[in-house]
Amino acid sequence: MPKSGNDLGVLISKKVLTLNGMSPYTTLGITLSAATAVTILVKKRKKIAYAFFNDLPMYILTEHRSAVVTIVGLPLSLLWDGALQLRGQYIKYFKSAPHLHDARVEIIQEQVKNRVDKNTPLCTARPGWASVSLSYRNYKKKWNAIEIPLYDILNINTDNLIVRVEPFVSIGQLTHALNPMGYTLPLVPEMDDLTIGGLINGTGIESSSHKYGLFHEIITELELLLGDGRVVIATADNEYSDLFHAIPWSYGTLALLLSAKLKLIPCKDYVKVTYTPHHDKEAYVEHMRQLSGEYNNKGNTTPMFVEGLAYSLDTAVVMSGEFIDAEDVSRGSTNRLSLWWKPWFYKHVEKMLFLKNGARNNDPIVEYIPLRDYYHRHTQSLFWEMELMIPIGNNIIFRWLLGWLMPPKVSFLKISQTEMTRLLVEKTHVAQDFLVPTRKMSKFLELCDDEYDRIYPLWLCLHDHSPMPGSLLKDPAKPGANGHEMYVDVGVYGLPRCVHEKREDEFDMKKSMRKVLKELVQMDGFQMLYADVFNTREEFEEMFGHEEYRLLRKKYKADGGAFKEVYDKMSVIL
């Protein structure tokens, strides 16, 4: 028993030491430390919460984006696709009403006529992140966004080979409706999510463009809403023919599109594709020009499809294709590209350059591809952009396990970017399409090889360039007897070699882009405008004709605040 208070304190100290394994002073120190930590947490809770809920996610999204795209992006894209399919079914059964098109147009008219601020430009209310372009366009946040709920196929006339559609009908929606009937569009751009309105107001190109031109060449009629609220029908030979020719490449700066009539052609179930490997630049350039029909050689038929993939300045595979009936397909020679475990198309094509022993292959190879698979041959890998997002994506194990989830939606890739990754992409990632006359193709390929430091593969897609009076797109500089000239789209997508090798400081995006664009103008070429623009307004007007375009803007009441000019809608980086 303790005899005094001191004795009691000693006893307590001993008991505490015995029970907790530490002295009272240690306990007091821990208590004070905990109290201090709690005080700091309370005082800096906002900063700590910001770091946990903002900085940490930003770090993960920036430094481990590949894992995020794989683990989060692919499942979310699948759910998004499912939601879009449900939405499509809902629209089909509850909202689809082609006979209500005129009534819906009247509602849109009222929005335009009764808008409060007549000086704020018009645009569609479709959110910028929903577009397929990787560029960022923020103008819709400030402009008059008009709701345009027009997503119906209005009529398919197989007798006259015409389909009438509303602007938010997608390429996937249209081909799913047409192909089972034995018909297709003369040219079908690669991605299902592309809308008819976007392809008409902007542009579209595919491997049949050497025969049919750019997407606007298959239009026969446009229904348009002008800035003053009037609705007009424009065709190539009526009183609004000038407006009809000017809408392509106008990017919604002349009128709002309400519907369009497009040409149809018969199709077959398969495409017979012939792959021809080349190991010399001039050889594959000349082969593509021969296949395009540019030389008008008598007795030579022009194939339905032509494209090329260049894997270096001197190596490429040129592909030509024709429609073919299922019964004519050789047994065992079918390549169903859409199967989830199939290798990415550009990787599959690259193997044709060499034999198994490593020797050069110079012999053509033939395959038969189902039509829908052919139309979407580059979709699984988004050409070759997926190699940057998911480096292991073409691994056979990944393809078997997760290939059925590919590819992630472009909209997800956009909204999941952090400011840091956006700036990094802007600085190092090239995503451009350049239209250049085939007579300058060889020289332009050398320019790209040098300025973009060996970005490969390159997509090579021919197109027949015809006059477009009133359009921004200038007429052919050196037309043939028919007034047309053969061009090639050189698609440059990827990272320069120095960036791959962690030497980012050696690549100056603005400098290289501006040099390429300057040379492009001197070659009578154009830049596709879905991508970032590196030109000043004056340089932009040197590449694209504005004189007739501005006269039409004035004539059709597009310049008094209703619509901005094309340059004002671009993603300009200077």
For tokens 């929005």, what's the residue? 111
User: What pLDDT was estimated at residue 199?
Assistant: 95
Give the DSSP H/E element, type plus range, for residue 547. Answer: helix 547-555
Q: What is the pLDDT along the chain (574 residues), one digit of tens a residue?
A: 445 445 544 444 444 444 455 666 676 666 767 767 667 666 666 666 655 545 555 556 556 667 777 887 788 888 877 876 787 677 667 766 777 899 999 999 998 888 878 788 888 877 665 666 666 666 767 787 888 888 889 999 999 999 999 999 989 889 989 999 999 999 999 888 889 999 999 999 999 999 999 999 999 999 999 988 899 999 999 999 999 999 999 999 999 999 999 999 999 999 999 999 999 999 999 999 999 999 876 657 899 999 999 999 999 999 999 999 999 998 888 999 989 999 999 999 999 999 888 889 999 999 999 999 999 999 899 899 989 888 899 999 999 999 998 888 777 777 767 777 777 888 889 999 999 999 999 999 999 999 999 999 999 999 999 998 888 999 999 999 889 999 999 999 999 999 989 898 899 999 999 999 999 999 999 999 988 899 999 999 999 999 999 999 999 988 877 888 999 888 778 7
Q: For residues 496-511, b (16+ Cβ closer than 10 Å) or e, as one string?
A: beebeeeeeeebebee
Phi, psi at 164, each rounded to 5°: -110, 130
Q: How many CA atoms lie within 13 A of 156 on its CB side?
A: 18
Q: Are strands 219-225 and 256-263 parallel, antiparallel or unpaired?
A: antiparallel
Single out the residue of 452, 413, 450, 416 nearest to residue 431, CA to CA.
Answer: 452
Residue 162 near residue 133, CB atoms below 8 Å: no
Q: Exposed, middle or buried by CB within 10 Å (0-12, 13-18, 19+), for 31?
A: exposed
CA distance 490 to 310: 10
Helix (H, G, I), strand (E, B) or coil at 574: coil
Helix (H, G, I), strand (E, B) or coil at 204: coil
Residue 254 near residue 558, CB atoms below 8 Å: yes
Structure tokens at 74: 């692919």
Q: Where are the alpha helices (DSSP H) in 153-280?
A: 171-178, 196-201, 209-212, 241-246
CA distance 472 to 535: 15
